[in-house]
Structure 1
Amino acid sequence: MRLTRRQFLWSSSATAAGSLLGLRAHAQAMIGEMQIDTLSDGNLVLPKSFALGSHSEAEVQPILDGYGLSAEQLTPDCNVTLLQVGDRKVMFDVGAGANFMPSAGKLLDALDALGVYPEEITDVIFTHAHPDHLWGVLDDFDDLLFPEAEYRIGQVERDYWLDPTTPDTISPERLAFVGGAIRYLGAVEDRLTTFEDGEEILPGVTAKATYGHTPGHMSFQIAQGGESLLIVGDAIGNHHLAFERPDWTSASDHDGEVGAATRVALMNELADSGQGIIGYHLPFPGIGRAERTGDTFRFVPA
C-alpha cells in the first residue's frame, strides 16, 4: 500500500501521540448536546521578562511566586478548542504548526488521541492571527492541515494584518507576525469569510469583540439549552497576573490600555455570571471560571 503525504503525517503522529502527550492530549466539557474538547498544542517558552511589561520585578515577582513561577522562563500551555455538534466539527484556532516553537505544534497528536481525523474538521474559526493560533493552518508539506474546512476570522482582525501599511506601524520584534499572517491567511484566502462583533457565526456560536491583545481579537460564546461557555482566546492570557491584576497592561498585547480595559470588563462579567471559560494559555486543559476574591480575581479550574 502506498501512503499519501497526509496518511504519512497521520501515521507518524499516531505513533508519537501516546509517548509525547499521554493523558494530556485532550479534556472534555458539555454544553447541552454540544461536545467541547480542549486539545493540547504543547506550550510556549517565554522569558520571564515577558511577564513584566512596564512593571518592575518587585511588583510582579511576588504574584508569580504565589503560583510557583520563580524560574527565568514561563511555559504557558496552548489549548486549542474543538466543538462537535451534529455533523459539524469546529476548531477554534489551529495551533502553532511546525515553524514557530519546537515546544508547540502538537495538535495532530492530540487529535489522534481523540480519534478525530483532520479531514473531518468542517469549520475553523480564529480568535486572532498570532503565530501560535494561526500557523498550524499548513502541515509539514505546506498543504492545508484541514483540507475540507471553511475558515472564518473577524473583519477587523483580517483587515489589520492584511493592511499594506501594518508593517510600517508594528514594533520590529513583531514584524515576523505580519509576514506569517499574510502567508497563512493567504493559504486559505479562497475559503476565508469574515464576521462582525455580535454575529452568530454558527448555531450556538456568537462572536464577542475582546479587542486589545490584537486590534480585532474575538472571543466566542458557546450556548445551548440555557448553558454557556466563553472561549476567551488570549483576552485573558494567563492564570496569574491577568486575574490578580487585570488592570495592568501586558507586554503581550498590541494595545496595552485597550487590552487591560477588556480584561477588567471580562473579569467582572465572568465573575458576576459564573459562566465557564476556556483560555488558550490557561493551565491545561484551560477550562474553568473566574471568581472574585475581594478586589481581585482568581482562576478556578473546572
Structure 2
Amino acid sequence: MSMITRRMLMTGAASLAGAAIAPRWLHASMQMGGWQVDTLSDGNLQLPADFILGPMPAEEIAPILARHGIAEGAPLTPPCNVTLLRGQGRVVLFDAGSGLAFQPSVGELPDALYALGVDPADVTDVVFTHAHPDHLWGALDDFDEALFYNARHYMGAGELDYWSDPETVNTIGAARQAFAIGAARRLEMLGDMVERFEDGDEVLPGVSAVLTPGHTPGHMAFAVAGDSGALMILGDAIGNHHVGFEAPGLPSGSDQDQGLAAQTRLALLDRIVADDMTVVGYHLPGGGIGRAERMDGAYRFVQAG
C-alpha cells in the first residue's frame, strides 16, 4: 500500500480550497525589477525574551518594548517570512524554512507553496542568507532528501566554510552546538547541489549579494535592482521590528558576534534610508515588507500597505 504523506494531503487540500487557504500563508506581495515578490509564512518561532534582549540595558529598551506591546519577560514569537521571487524563467526562494525538526510552530513553507500553486519541483533556485535552523533545515524533506530537488542552491563562501568546518561545533558554544551539528549534516546531504558566491556577486540577474556579518560569520543580504527603486532582502541582519530598528547599536543575544552585528545593522540602515530602499525581513511583521525611516536619532520600521 502506498504511503499517504502530509504533503500529498496538503496538495489535495490546496486544490480544493485554493484561495481560501492562500491568505494564511501568503503575507505580502510587490513587483521589483521584473520579479513578482511574495513572502510566504513558514510559521513563527517561540523564543525566550533573553535570547534577543538579554544583553540589552533593561531601562533603555523598556519604552521601546512598551510601544510595541511587548510585556517585560514575555516570550517572543517572531514570524518567519520566506521570500519568493518569480520571473525571468525562474522560481527563487530566499531561504528554505525550518522543516519539521526544529520547533513545532514552524515548518509550514511546503504548505504555503502548495497553497500558492508552486510545487517544490518548480523551484529553480534556493539562495541562503545564512545557515541557522529556521533558514536551512527546510531544504531537506522528511526523508533527508533535497526538497527542492531541481533547484540550484547558493550560499556565501564564508558561511558555507564556517558551517562545514568540523571544528565549528567545538568553538560555537554549548547553546548553539545543535545549530552547528544540524547545519553540517544538511550541507553534507545537499553536497554538490550547493554553489558558492562572494560578497558583491550577482547571484541571479539583478540580485547582488551584500555581506552583512555578525549574526553569523558569513551572513548575506541581497539587493534586488528595479527601474524605480531597489529592494533589500535582509535575512536576519535586522532581526526584529522593535529594538533592531529603534536601538540598532545595542548588542542582541541572537547574534554570534554581537559587536560586529550591531555595526552591520547601523551601516545597513544608513544605506537603506540613503538609497530609499524597500526592505523585506525574515522576522519582521506583516509579511516583512516595508521601509526604514529615521526616528529620534535611530530608525523605525514602517510596514508596507
TM-based fold match above 0.5: yes
What is the distance in 1 between the residues matched to 2:34 and 2:195?
A: 27
- 2:165 matched to 1:168? no
1:111-145 Cα deviation digits (max 9, x unpaired) = 11211111000011100000000000111222221
- Which residue in 2 is equivalent to 1:24? 24
Equivalent residues in 2 for 1:211-226, closer than 5 Å: 211-226=213-228
Equivalent residues in 2 for 1:129-140, closer than 5 Å: 129-140=131-142
Mind listing any 5+ residue stretches in structure 1 that lack a counterpart?
none
Contact between 2:229 and 2:276, CA under 8 Å: does it hold in 1?
Answer: no
Amino acid at match of 1:10: R
- Which residue in 2 is equivalent to 1:255? 257
Q: Select 1:12's aligned residue among 4, 9, 14.
A: 9
Instruction: Report the 3-state secondary structure (helix = DSSP H, G, I; strand = E; otherwise coil) of the residue aligned with 2:166.
Output: coil
- Which residue in 2 is equivalent to 1:299? 301
Contact between 1:79 and 1:284, CA under 8 Å: does it hold in 2?
Answer: no
The structural deviation recorded for 1:271 is: 1.6
- 2:267 matched to 1:268? no
Instruction: Tell me the C-alpha RMSD between the 2 structures.
Output: 1.9
Contact between 1:40 and 1:284, CA under 8 Å: does it hold in 2?
Answer: no
Instruction: Report the 3-state secondary structure (helix = DSSP H, G, I; strand = E; otherwise coil) of the residue aligned with 1:46.
Output: coil
The structural deviation recorded for 1:85 is: 1.1
- TM-score normalised per structure 2: 0.93
Instruction: Report the 3-state secondary structure (helix = DSSP H, G, I; strand = E; otherwise coil) of the residue aligned with 1:269.
Output: helix
What is the distance in 1 between the residues matched to 2:21 and 2:262?
A: 34
- Which residue in 2 is equivalent to 1:110? 112
Contact between 1:127 and 1:233, CA under 8 Å: does it hold in 2?
Answer: yes
Deviates more, 1:123-132 or 1:53-62: 53-62
What is the distance in 2 between the residues matched to 1:232 and 1:261?
A: 15
Question: Percent same amino acid among aligned pairs?
Answer: 50
What is the distance in 1 between the residues matched to 2:9 and 2:294?
A: 45
Amino acid at match of 1:37: D
What is the distance in 1 between the residues matched to 2:195 and 2:52?
A: 34
Count of residue pairs brought into register by the alignment: 299
Equivalent residues in 2 for 1:1-302, closer than 5 Å: 8-14=5-11, 23-26=23-26, 27-70=28-71, 72-302=74-304
1:217-252 Cα deviation digits (max 9, x unpaired) = 000011132431000100000000000100001100
Contact between 2:199 and 2:211, CA under 8 Å: does it hold in 1?
Answer: yes
Mind listing any 5+ residue stretches in structure 2 that lack a counterpart?
none
1:45-79 Cα deviation digits (max 9, x unpaired) = 01112232322433333211110111621100000
Contact between 1:16 and 1:109, CA under 8 Å: does it hold in 2?
Answer: no
Contact between 1:92 and 1:125, CA under 8 Å: does it hold in 2?
Answer: yes
Contact between 2:33 and 2:224, CA under 8 Å: does it hold in 1?
Answer: no
What is the distance in 2 between the residues matched to 1:57 and 1:241?
A: 12
Contact between 2:50 and 2:253, CA under 8 Å: does it hold in 1?
Answer: no
- TM-score normalised per structure 1: 0.94
What is the distance in 2 between the residues matched to 1:202 and 1:218?
A: 14
What is the distance in 2 between the residues matched to 1:301 and 1:3?
A: 46
The structural deviation recorded for 1:11 is: 2.5
Amino acid at match of 1:137: A
The structural deviation recorded for 1:24 is: 2.9
Amino acid at match of 2:49: K
What is the distance in 1 between the residues matched to 2:241 and 2:259?
A: 19
